[in-house]
Amino acid sequence: MSGKPQHPYHLVDPSPWPIIGAFAGLLFSVGMILYMHDITTWGVPIGIAAIVFTMYGWWKDVIHEAHFQKAHSVEARTGLRMGMALFISSEVMFFFAFFWAYFNASLFPTEAIGGIWPPSDIKTPHTFDLPFLNTLLLLLSGTTVTWAHHALLEGKRDQLIKGLGFSVLLGILFLGLQAYEYAELAFGFKDGIYPSVFYMATGFHGFHVIVGTIFLAVCFFRARKGHFTPNRHVGFEAAAWYWHFVDVVWLFLFVAVYWYGNA
């Protein structure tokens, strides 16, 4: 019983993070419900802090298992890749709902908004202004992530670190320009169906860019510590897949919302 397991799979040690994460999510959800009913509560900030704490501790344990314990066998890494692929598939469905709402409103405009899209009282952002610049930034960041991936496969650690560093900087620059764009827009979230679907779609994408940038930043620091090798780098692969997903979603948003939606 005390010998090595007779299977290649990784059975994780007992962990407190699932139950802590469940309570953190419950606290955040209850706090948001109270906030939406104009009830002041500390549930939201405390819930967010608890969620961040859970993420940090849980992922720190996963990194320890992968790099120091060498517990991620070939089968375990295959399972991690499948899990990430399923997660991204769920994210596709998530954005599909936003696109559905957008095209339902734009292809069949109601009398309440004058029967036209975009509504006549909405001054839409210029297609080939900040949105186009942000598109170029995200496409460029996709190439730097790919550069980092190829450098990793070829054992070129310096280029891996540079590629990840440039990717993180481009992600931060994208977020800064999007925040500036929001500040300059002539409509607010509650000003009708166009602002609602616009902010929901682009805002949630911006949130995903924040997550992806943090993901790449973690990989950047892990690369500096030498955690990745050409044969063992599932964490980097997951970050790269996620970032390319964010890139593709933005292309659809640019074409549908900023280009077609302004025609």
What is the per-residue pLDDT across 184-235, written as a single tens digit (0 to 9) for each? 998 888 888 899 999 999 999 999 999 999 999 999 999 999 999 998 899 9
| Those residues with Cβ within 8 angstroms of residue 47's Cβ, 6 or more apart along the chain or in another chain | 24, 25, 27, 28, 29, 30, 31, 32
Q: Give the integer Cα–Cα distance in Å for 125 and 127.
A: 6
Interval 147-185: pLDDT, tens:
999 999 999 999 999 999 999 999 999 999 999 999 999
Q: Where are the domains of the chain?
A: 12-71, 79-262
Residue 137: per-residue pLDDT: 96
pLDDT (0 to 100) of residue 4: 66
pLDDT-based confidence at 11, cuts 50/70/90? confident
CATH number (1.10.287.70, 2.60.120.10, 3.40.50.2300, 3.90.1150.10) of 12-71 reads 1.10.287.70
Two structure tokens written together for 76 = 């375990």
Q: Summarize pLDDT for 243-263 with one digit per residue, the tens.
A: 999 999 999 999 999 998 886
Give the DSSP letter of residue 262: G
Q: What is the pTM of this model?
A: 0.89
- Provide the pLDDT for residue 45: 93
pLDDT the model gives residue 40: 81
The CB density around residue 65, as the number of other CB atoms within 10 Å, is: 16
Instruction: Return the pLDDT at 3.
Output: 57
Which residues make Cβ contacts (< 8 Å) with residue 80, sequence separation at least 6? Answer: 72, 234, 238
Give the 3-state secondary structure of residue 232: strand
Kind plus residue range of the DSSP H or E element containing 181 = helix 157-184
Tokens of 144: 């730097």
**Which residues have a Cβ under 8 Å from the Cβ of 62 and sit 6 or more positions away?**
none
> What is the reported pLDDT for 2?
55
158-159-160 Cα angle (round to 5): 90
Residue 32 has pLDDT above 80, yes or no: yes
**Backbone dihedral region for residue 39 (phi beyond 0: left; psi -120 to 50: alpha; all else: beta):** beta
Structure tokens that stand for 135 in this block: 């598109």
Q: Which CATH number fits domain 79-262: 1.20.810.10, 3.40.630.30, 3.30.505.50, 1.20.120.80?
A: 1.20.120.80
The tens digit of pLDDT for each residue in 45-104 reads 999 999 999 999 998 998 888 888 888 888 888 999 999 999 999 999 999 999 999 999
Question: How sure is the predictor about 34, in pLDDT bands with cuts at 50, 70 and 90?
Answer: very high
User: How many CB atoms neighbour CB 21 within 10 A?
Assistant: 18
> Would the pLDDT of 1 be above 80?
no
CA 233 → CA 2, 77, 101, 158, 216, distances in Å?
A: 30, 9, 38, 16, 13
